[in-house]
Amino acid sequence: MSNYLAFKKDPLNIQEVTDLVSASSCGAISIFMGTTRDNFDGKPVLDLEYEAYETMGLKAMEKICVDVRKEWQDIENIAIYHRLGRVMIKEVSVIIAVSAPHRAEALKATDFCINRLKQSVPIWKKETYADNAATWKENKELKIQSYPPKRQKFKFDLAQEVQADYIPQYLIQIRATKAELDCRMEKFMERKRTEINAQNNKEFFTRERDPEFSCSRVDATILKRRDSKSHLQVERVLNSYQNRDQRNADYMKKYIPSNGVEERLQCLESQLSMEKAVPVNVYQRIKRLEDRLLQLESISPEYIQFWDKTSVKSTKSVKKKIFHIAEIDELISEVEKKCVKL
Amino acid sequence: MVKVKLLFFARARELAGRSEDFITIPEKITCVELLEIIVKERSLQEIQNSIILSINEQLYHTDDIVNLREGDEIAVIPPLSGG
């Protein structure tokens, strides 16, 4: 059970690495070799140049080995050899060799190693193209996110627009700027506070008081309240249901009609102030309700706009931006950070 | 203030024009501030959004406050491209 990890300045020797991992107890050695390709997206590539933070890199490789052995206990030996410096086309830049008693683990572990190597080992390659241009590459498997993390673009399956109900202007009761609304709320709270203070003064002062020389906080006296054992007021409620025995589901029967349709009809009738006596036939009852509605409409047509929306329906859609939940989280944390900094 | 060692790799090395260096900075500092100082002092603006720092071979993230000691090794790590 050994790990062979190294950065090499000279060409890698596949036989040497294979010999390192081979073991008499193993029926499989899986080898992965990364080689230099002669093009990148069709652009001709001349060579690659590798550099690494070697001490940290070896630690990162060690960590990969620990994780591999945690996942597949049967793994025997692991070798990770990475080339540094200039690597020509077709030459090997990385060799990963894993030996195990059976091939399944060896194959899986090899795949795991190369993926993790690309994510977490501090190695960099520079591609030089035929036209002498060169770029430092960036692995797409990167686990270490950029710093500070770039904002992700969120992709939506839906259009970022919702159909909002059109609200006619005349239905909007308050039109004011935020400042004015804030001011009104402030004033409202102030008024409520004074009201409560006045109420308290009235409640807790029995004798005449001179507002100039008395203080409601220290001069207040405790009065015994009616039906109460202390100075607190008590509300008594008459329970007309009497005994609410939860085991017996019938206790509400007297108050709630057993039939749902009956209940709904009763509600409508009381809402429309109709007399108690009703026809037995349900269709006749509904007809009576419709007649009542028509009658109300005809006697006060000026109110129709408040409940009849059919005449003002508009298909105009209002654009609203939809945010992804992560996007909102990010915005919030950004604001928080700003506040903390200040 | 402590004197620490700086290491530059890949594009960061090309921009800084050297692979290692020393810098004197406050010992208690957040990673963001540390990164800002290094970016400014060694003109790494071009890649400032994609680099991270490691201190004594340990990666550090945005909000961490680090306690630096004389001789610590800070590396500027651009996006990895091994394999």
Tokens encoding A73: 């206990």
Mean pLDDT of A76-104: 93
Q: Please report, for chain A, how many H helices and E strands are present, in that order.
A: 9, 9
Domain boundaries defined on chain B: 2-77
What is the Cα Rg of chain B in Å?
Answer: 12
Answer yes or no: is pLDDT of A239 > 80.
no
Tell me the pLDDT band of A111, cut-offs 50, 70 and 90.
very high
CB-nearest partner of B83 from A51, A56, A117: A117
d(Cα B12, Cα B14) in Å, to the nearest integer?
A: 5
pTM of the model: 0.53
How far is CA B80 from each of CA A28, A32, A33, A116, A311, rounded to the nearest angstrom?
31, 20, 19, 11, 64
- Interface check for B1 against chain A (CB to CB < 8 A): the answer is no
In this predicted structure, what is the pLDDT of residue A154? 60
Of A5, A53, A58, A93, which to mutate for an interface test with B (greatest number of B Cβ within 10 Å)? Answer: A53
Fold that domain B2-77 belongs to in CATH: Ubiquitin-like (UB roll) (3.10.20)
Phi, psi of A52, rounded to the nearest 5 degrees: -145, 155
Which among B62, B25, B43 is positioned nearest to A147, based on CA atoms?
B62
What is the Cα Rg of chain A in Å?
Answer: 41
Of A32, A56, A92, A123, which to mutate for an interface test with B (greatest number of B Cβ within 10 Å)? Answer: A56
Which regions of chain B are under pLDDT 50?
none
**Segment A138-168, tens digit of pLDDT:** 887 665 544 444 455 566 666 666 677 777 7
Query: A146 and B33 in contact (C-beta within 8 Å)?
Result: no
Which among A217, A202, A39 is positioned nearest to A131, based on CA atoms?
A39
Which among A12, A11, A104, A90 is positioned nearest to A46, based on CA atoms?
A90
CB contact under 8 A, A138 and B79: yes
CB contact under 8 A, B7 and A53: yes
CB-nearest partner of B80 from A142, A147, A148: A142
A34 vs B contacts (CB less than 8 Å): 83
Q: Which residue has the tokens 């683990």?
A: A105
- Interface check for B55 against chain A (CB to CB < 8 A): the answer is no
Query: A71 and A80 in contact (C-beta within 8 Å)?
Result: no
Burial (CB count <10 Å: 0-12, 13-18, 19+), residue A15 = exposed
CB contact under 8 A, A147 and B80: no
Which of A43-57, A269-283, A311-325 is predicted with the least confidence, judged by mean pLDDT? A311-325
Answer yes or no: is pLDDT of A244 > 70.
no
Query: A28 and A110 in contact (C-beta within 8 Å)?
Result: no
